[in-house]
Structure 1
Amino acid sequence: MMKFLGKLTSSIKRKGKSASSRKNLPKELAEFERRIGYHFSNPELLNQALTHPSFHEHKKQKPNNQRLEFLGDSILGAILSEKLYHLHPEIDEGALSKRKAVLAQGSTLAQLARKLNLGSFLRMGASEKKNKGNERESTLEDGLEALIGAIFLDGGMSAAKDRVLSWLGEFNSELDNSHIKFNPKGQLQELVQANRPDDKIRYKLIKESGPPHDKTFRMRVTIGESEFGEGEGRSKKEAEEKAAEEALLLLAKDEHNAPRGKSSRK
């Protein structure tokens, strides 16, 4: 797989235009390169990775980051798969897939994008920017995948792998709570039934935002009469899962692993 991707990179480089000069690189792009720890031989790839579809919404032939997002998604999957394969020789394919799903899920990628301050450098249409589209989780996730795709085309698999694993930082710590992040609603249900069988878990929609084609939902979870977490996602189901994750992490701090009193989270 890696050899094939390497050949693909070389082929694309041969067919593409020669690397753009860095002499006229805008200051904001140079600043973002410092943030991500990678300098592009062809800065146009970076520029494209940071171009949201809304920036050229009335110019169909103008490039945006959607194709790079498609590529970056596959590259990210290959990097994570290889890393997990070597990191956990003792677990089977099913368990590896679950851990990969945790690391590649939208909330993880969006959080990583926020650490890189990617949203501040995205080029967007005026209306999208006014609606704070650069803060939307789905936009940040797509932008990060596009960035990975751009680095892959510019520097190959080695460069993409180096950056992704560097951004993830303490890789093992990201996996420590994977058992919580996989089916969090089910685990929360089991925990509450075992400790407080008379309490009911309820999920309530507290906010809905964004255009019809790209909505964001925020849900709150209560256990009995107490509020234990909130979560945001592209769907109500995803938002409920995030809320359940937060509740589980909060309950994990309780030495008895049981709801007691009202949470301070409103």
Structure 2
Amino acid sequence: MSTLSKLNSARIESALGYQFQDPTLLYRALSHRSVGPKNNERLEFLGDSLLNFFIAEALFHKFPTAREGDLSRLRASLVKGETLAEIARDFQLGDYLQLGEGELKSGGFRRASILADAVEALLGAIYIESGMETCKTAVLRWFDTRLDLTSPAETAKDAKTRLQEYMQEHKKPLPRYEVVRCFGHSHSPEFEVSCDVGGAQKTTIAIAGSKRVAEKKAAEQMLLALGVK
């Protein structure tokens, strides 16, 4: 298999903070499937699983009182393709990607999905060569600033979403919202909306200047009535 030039290898390894002992492994991690059968798809598969685990572990320890749903949303925001593509651009991975002729012509080195896949493949390659702890160190280094800035409050779901998920989790009918009445002036109407979850639970009522806000307020009251935090 081909390898990158020593200069290019040195540049990218400096950005990654990791020096490959096997240069062909680095080359493969940067090889898109358009180059042929010797590409980075298997390494990407492995790196994706490792990334999800290490980020989940970091969030678990960083936010000891966060709910499972909040942790899941935080992890999703950190490991999504857009975030990985940003990291790839920080490393200037696009300059080193190995692409087939068609992808080269269509600007594949700028495509977010290809950049994101390469980041995951690099993590897979680091794991293959140096093991779990070294790979974990790389993840925490690459995501250091993003982990510092993240907070459960940033991904908090609105009351309607939380109520719907609660009902689904407990295998109950979904909440029903109904406009009880609309009053006030035509240029500034007020909406009175009810929220009903069936069973013995009482309906909650809320009033707001828009139907959407009134529904959220009614859902908030229902969550309180159900004892959902």
| TM-score tier (shorter) | 0.5 to 0.7
Amino acid at match of 2:81: G
Moved over 2 A (4+): 24-27, 171-174, 176-183
Residue 11 of structure 2 corresponds to residue 31 of structure 1: yes
1:91 alignment counterpart: 66
SS at match of 2:131: helix
The code of the aligned residue for 1:117 comes to Q
Q: Determine the structure 1 residue equivalent to 2:110.
A: 135
1:145 corresponds to 2:120:
yes
Structure 2-normalised TM-score?
Answer: 0.63
Report the count of equivalent residues: 160
Given candidates 76, 80, 89, the residue that maps to 1:114 is 89
Distance (Å, rounded) in 2 between the aligned partners of 1:144 and 1:33? 13
What is the deviation of 1:177? 8.3
Q: Deviation of residue 100 (structure 1)?
A: 0.5
Secondary structure (helix, strand or coil) at the match of 1:89 reads coil
Is the Cα contact below 8 Å between 1:69 and 1:145 reproduced in 2?
yes
Amino acid at match of 1:83: A
Corresponding residue for residue 51 of structure 1: 31
| Alignment correspondent of 1:40 | 20
Q: Deviations over 1:161-193 (max 9, x none)?
A: 11111111324444148725979xx9xxxxxxx
User: How has the CA–CA distance of structure 1 residues 157 and 148 changed in structure 2, closer, same or farther, with 3 Å as cutoff?
Assistant: same
The equivalent position to 1:68 in structure 2, one of 30, 43, 46, is 43
Q: Tell me how far 1:25 sits from its aligned partner.
A: 5.9
State the alpha-carbon separation in 1 of the partners of residues 64 and 155 from structure 2: 21
Residue pairs, 1:171-182, within 5 angstroms: 171-176=146-151, 179=154
Deviation at 1:127, TM superposition (A): 2.0
Shift in alpha-carbon separation, 1:182–1:152, aligned structure 2, 3 A: farther
1:124 partner letter: L
CA shift for structure 1 position 118: 0.8
Q: How far, CA to CA, are the matches of 2:126 and 2:101 in structure 1?
A: 27
Structure 2 letter corresponding to 1:156: G
1:79 to 16, 31, 54: 54
CA distance in 1, matches of 2:86, 2:9: 21
Could you tell me whether the CA contact under 8 Å between 1:102 and 1:181 is conserved in 2?
Answer: no
Distance 2:20 2:156 in 1: 35
* Counterparts of 1:122 and 1:34, CA distance in 2: 16
What is the rounded CA distance, in whole Å, between the counterparts of 2:99 and 2:145 in structure 1? 32
What SS class does the counterpart of residue 113 from structure 1 fall into?
A: helix
Letter in 2 for 1:165: L
Cα 1:105–1:25 change in 2 (3 A) is same
Contact 1:46/1:147 (8 A) holds in 2: yes
> How far is 1:27 from its partner?
2.2
Highest Rg: 1 or 2?
A: 2
Q: TM-score, normalization: structure 1?
A: 0.55
CA–CA distance in 2 between the matches of 1:181 and 1:110? 24
Aligned match for 1:158, one of 104, 108, 133: 133
What's the Cα RMSD here? 2.6
Whether the 8 Å CA contact 1:99–1:178 is kept in 2: the answer is no
CA distance in 2, matches of 1:148, 1:182: 31
d(CA) in 1 for partners of 2:13, 2:20: 8
Residues 194-227 of structure 1 show CA distances to partners (whole Å, capped at 9, x for unaligned) of: xxx99xxxxxxxxxxxxxxxxxxxxxxxxxxxxx
1:133 is displaced (CA, Å) by 0.5
1:152-231 to 2 correspondences below 5 Å: 152-176=127-151, 179=154
Aligned-partner Cα distance in 2 for 1:176–1:81: 14
Residues 1-20 of structure 1 correspond to what in structure 2 (within 5 A)?
Answer: none
